[in-house]
Structures are given as C-alpha cells and as structure tokens.
Amino acid sequence: MTYKRLVTLARNALTKSHSPYSKFRVGAALLTKDGKVFAGCNIENSSFGLTICAERTAIFKAVSEGQTHFQAIAIATEQREFIAPCGACRQVIMDLAGDIDVVMSTRGGALKVVTVSELLPFPFGPKNLRKRKTGRS
C-alpha cells in the first residue's frame, strides 16, 4: 500500500471525528506489516482528560484485534501545515508500534514522512522498567 493511499484512509477517518469542542478533526490510519489497516478518529469528551486522539484510537483498535507488527501511521487534519502527533501519542506509538514511519499530510495533499524516533528522540519504554541492581542490600 502506498503512503498516499494510507493518507486517504486517514482522511476518511477524519470525517467520523467527534470534536464538538475544539472543532479540530483528526483522522489516522495504521498500517500493519501484513497490509491490514486500522483507522481511527479523535473523540472528544466534555471532560477533556477523557478525550482520545485519532492515533491512539487506531493503535488501540489494532492491538485489541491482536496486531503487534506495524509499518506506518498516517495522520490527516484539515490544516494547511503538517501536524505531528501529540506527546502522548508519540509515546504510545513508540511503545506499542515501535519506530515506525509517521506520515503527516496537509489539507492540500502534501506528505512528509518521519520516524517516531525523530519525533521522540529519548523515549521511555519497557527497558526503563526492568529491575536494576542498585548496589544496596
């Protein structure tokens, strides 16, 4: 699948956005290594802390279906400039999908591809949670 097609699927997901408060619609499409696509949109709640981004919606859908190997995630908005995932999404993408390609798009159809590690150069992850010997008894 081409990244242009993946962005089209993200743009289709954007139309399902529930964003009555911010009016900032976002769609995402996550491509698995075996060619499956999981789409998601942002879903807002009046208690903003309970809102979920499009990227996390797509990833959680994929993981809940047993998918664990990913190639890329595309993000679509209605903005003229490239919009990168928020910090929380960067962490979730790195933790659950790894250092995959992030395909950002503009309203006009321009694409920019970066890796998650470019967006999150010093990630926190499972390796940080391993027990370490402190030298104390």
Cα–Cα dist 20/42, whole Å = 11
**Using an 8 Å Cβ cutoff, are 34 and 69 in contact?**
yes
Q: Which two tokens stand for residue 84?
A: 């990168």
> 44, 55, 65, 78: which one is catalytic?
55
Q: Which two tokens stand for residue 126?
A: 């499972």
3-state class of 67 per DSSP? coil
55 catalytic, yes or no? Answer: yes
How distant, in Å, are the alpha carbons of 11, 49, 127, 134 from that of 59? 16, 19, 21, 36
Sheet holding 111-115, edge to edge: 37-41, 26-32, 70-77, 101-105, 111-115
Query: So which residues are the catalytic ones?
Result: 55
